[in-house]
Amino acid sequence: MWLKFIKPKILALTHMKNPLFPAPTEVIFVFKYIRIQIKDTSITDRTRLTPAVAIELMRLTMIIGEAMEKGMNNRGIKVVKINYQDMGNWAFKTGDKPFLHIHLFGRALDAKNQIFPEAVYLPDRSTGFYDKFEPLNNEDVLEIQKQIELLSQQEKWKEWGQVVTCSIF
């Protein structure tokens, strides 16, 4: 098994085989979305990745996206689609430098705030728009973890090779 959870809500993924991969990578469970964040904050967007690292990042988003959809459905949240978005615009509001991170948004049929199938709406935090959002709870995170472990055993993912280990800290 390539995944080890130590503490809920944050996964730290460390690449074991390829020294080009910027390790560790964090997978952060926030609100009803997941953020995959490369620790090397000098990497501002995907165009700055090597081909090997880009493939690893794609693999990671695919596994976690599939696990999120299956896990949340198992928890009774009718997720029908995962939206993947590279972000970083808000860094410019504070004068910070953006860094590569990808948000995974589970789009649910019965969503009350982010109505599906409308586009994801992300206003400034100060608007109060997010005040009623419910975070992923420990049971959600544990179910997504379970799905990641199950998916990682599938032949489809073994073809990519054993390339990452995960820890929650």
Strand order in the sheet with 25-30: 3-4, 164-167, 10-15, 25-30, 33-38, 101-108, 79-86
| Domains present along the chain, CATH in parentheses | 29-42+50-160 (3.30.428)
Question: Residue 75, exposed/middle/buried by CB under 10 A (0-12, 13-18, 19+)?
Answer: middle
Name the residue with higher pLDDT: 163 or 126: 126
Is the alpha carbon torsion for 135, 140, 145, 149 positive or negative? negative
Q: What is the pLDDT of residues 12-59, one digit of tens each?
A: 443 333 333 444 455 555 556 787 777 778 889 889 888 877 877 888
Q: Which of 32, 89, 96, 101 is nearest to 60 (CA)?
A: 101
Q: Which of 26-35, 72-81, 148-157, 159-168 has the lowest mean pLDDT?
A: 159-168
Band of pLDDT at residue 163, cut at 50, 70 and 90: very low
- Is the peptide bond preceding residue 98 cis, with omega within 30 degrees of 0? no
Of 74 and 87, which is predicted with more confidence? Answer: 74
Q: Which of 1-5, 55-59, 161-165 has the lowest mean pLDDT?
A: 1-5
Query: How far apart (Å, rounded) are the C-alpha atoms in residues 113 and 134?
Result: 11
Q: Is the pLDDT score of 6 beyond 60?
A: no
Between 15 and 69, the higher pLDDT residue: 69
- What integer pLDDT is reported at residue 8 of this predicted model? 41
Share of the chain above pLDDT 70, in %: 74
Q: Is the pLDDT of residue 10 over 50?
A: no
Backbone angles phi, psi at 30, to 5 degrees: -135, 145
Q: Given this model, what pLDDT does residue 18 score? A: 38
Q: What's the rounded Cα separation, in Å, for the pair 105 and 102?
A: 10
Residue from 151, 135, 150 nearest 8 by CA: 135
pLDDT tens digit sequence for 101-147: 888 899 999 888 888 999 988 898 899 988 888 878 888 888 988 89
Looking at the chain, the whole-number percentage of residues with pLDDT higher than 90 is 23
Give 94's contacts (C-beta < 8 A, 6+ positions apart): none
